[in-house]
Amino acid sequence: MKTILLLGASFFLTISLCSCSNNKESKVQDITFPQGFVWGTATSAYQVEGAYQEDGKGASVWDTYTNQYKLAGGETGNVAIDQYHRYKQDVALLKDMGIQSYRFSIAWTRILPEGTGKVNQAGIDYYLRLVDELLKAGIEPAITLYHWDLPQALADRGGWRNRESVKWFTDYAEIVFKAIGDRVKTWITFNEPFIDRMMIGSFLRSRLDPTIEPISNPFAIPGALIAQQAIETHHWILAHAKAIKIYRSLGLSGKIGMTLSISPVYPETDSEADRNAARVEDGLHNRWFLHPVLKGAYPEDIRALYLKHTGIGIQEGDMEVIKKNRVDFLGVNYYSPTRVKANSDSKRFGIEILPNSDERPAFNGEVYPEGLYDLLVRIDTEYDHPVIYITENGAGFGSEDDSLVDGCVHDMLRQDYLKRHFAEAHRAIQAGVKLQRYYVWSCFDNFEWVFGYKNRFGLIHVNFENQERIWKDSAFDFQSCIKNNGFDQ
């Protein structure tokens, strides 16, 4: 795998030297996607908008985490890439790149500053302006309703642990559907329950609750703590299903789905113990969400595992709602696989997650494009051929790959990463997977949560001092890929 990566990198280096300001001509090529395939980029409100106290916006938990708890070493999304003010310029850049759909999220606290109650029209107006600007540019908006920025006022009322959260969310969703549902045809209820609730949620609880031992390694979160978060994910799943019901009952004609982070899990060896560890890890990360979203029921083995530690909060009638209101498409975020082995000393249900041994590690784990093929085919086979959108995939490798030299960023590792993943997506389509869209994370460098601004994922470089935007080589590649609906390998 590493040899291929190195070869790939030198190949794309050749391209990148002459592609800094040139686009490539259309021609017959190795990989062509089906007609109508949609190419996009993805982002989220807190990571790009800035304007954190403007036009009546309320505080979200991420405003608190960054400003008060200094979770990102003092860096915040207070300004971020200032997209709130620069959206016109940013949409123009998306248009130049040929982007066909822009996935972004709505900040709940712009719409309902206190999370419930009084609607802030100025917040709705911002998203109407952004949506209209996108439509004018011929770019389809794809909206995520919730990308982790819970209103602080609701966190103060118990957040997702409180069953009332289901109603808070569906009321918010209904307001948004009614305000902009006429012009937006792609909706995502939630982004990545596993990462937000099981990883970040567990991490934060361990930092803030003195009765819990602080977590230093996010890959070794104790099973008991993961189980305790299941009640929160049940509230997400229920809120998701109820939001779908509301969406459809309003007679809106778009498609609605949910985005999951999917990581194919591979055992270190073929031993029964390792295979069992892989099955459980897959259950925690993937099946716990895939099953209810696509089949309408939780996987029995994981449910039993969680119930040994804690209640999940499922009430009568919940599963019926979840079963009846299934998605139009599944959003998949893929970055890396998980490799595991059995280790009876591990408090994570006896699972040890193996470290990434890549020579040039990406921020989000091992680079393994074949994992994308594996997971797409697996979801297709095991979940009755759902329509799938890749709602995030992308990479950052640090300053060496991302340095600005003479006005260019020769991000050859990112170029290589993207092309190899596109090729695997194409292979999955050829195998019959109903993959219809691909959103790269991300169009612009932005605020990468606890890592702040140093972890860059953008196709476009952002100078965070003066907000200048500069296309990286990967942006030119992507422009060419969209124009040709494919590329040469």
The residue ranges that bind ligand GCO (CB under 6 A) are 44, 47, 191-192, 195, 261, 333, 364, 392, 441, 448, 457
Q: How many CB atoms lie within 10 A of CB 273?
A: 15
Query: 479 with 440: CB under 8 angstroms?
Result: no
Element (H, E) at 229: none
Q: Which is nearer to ligand GCO, 441 or 476 (CB)?
A: 441
Q: Which of 49, 281, 366, 392 is catalytic?
A: 392
Shortest distance (Å) from residue 272 CB to ligand GCO: 32
Shortest distance (Å) from residue 451 CB to ligand GCO: 8
Peptide bond before 442: cis, by omega within 30 degrees of 0?
Answer: yes
Per the listing, tokens 């599944």 go with 330
User: What type of residue sits at position 82?
Assistant: D
Shortest distance (Å) from residue 314 CB to ligand GCO: 26
416: left (phi over 0), alpha (psi -120 to 50) or beta: alpha
Q: Which is nearer to ligand GCO, 12 or 441 (CB)?
A: 441
Distance CA 367, CA 294 (A): 27
The token pair at 325 is 């209101």
Per the listing, tokens 């999370």 go with 115
25 is catalytic: no
In angstroms, the first-to-last Cα distance of the chain is 16
Q: Which is nearer to ligand GCO, 16 or 191 (CB)?
A: 191
Q: Which is nearer to ligand GCO, 228 or 333 (CB)?
A: 333
Q: Which is nearer to ligand GCO, 76 or 364 (CB)?
A: 364
CA-angle at 416, arms to 398 and 365, nearest 5°: 50
Element (H, E) at 434: none
Q: Which is nearer to ligand GCO, 261 or 325 (CB)?
A: 261
Shortest distance (Å) from residue 44 CB to ligand GCO: 5
Shortest distance (Å) from residue 489 CB to ligand GCO: 26
Q: 95-98 contacts: CB < 8 A, separation 24 or more?
A: 95/137, 95/138, 95/139, 96/479, 97/443, 97/459, 97/471, 97/475, 97/478, 97/479, 97/482, 98/39, 98/479, 98/482, 98/483
Q: How many CB atoms lie within 10 A of CB 375?
A: 23
Shortest distance (Å) from residue 401 CB to ligand GCO: 15
Distance CA 367, CA 309 (A): 34
Query: 436 with 38: CB under 8 angstroms?
Result: yes
Q: Which is nearer to ligand GCO, 11 or 451 (CB)?
A: 451
Shortest distance (Å) from residue 28 CB to ligand GCO: 34
Per the listing, tokens 């992308």 go with 394
192 is catalytic: yes
Q: Which of 49, 192, 424, 448 is catalytic?
A: 192
Q: What is the DSSP letter of 105?
A: E
Distances (CA, A) of 407 to 15, 150, 162, 294, 468: 17, 38, 50, 46, 11
Query: 266 with 338: CB under 8 angstroms?
Result: yes
Q: Which is nearer to ligand GCO, 192 or 477 (CB)?
A: 192
Shortest distance (Å) from residue 363 CB to ligand GCO: 6
Catalytic residues: 192, 392
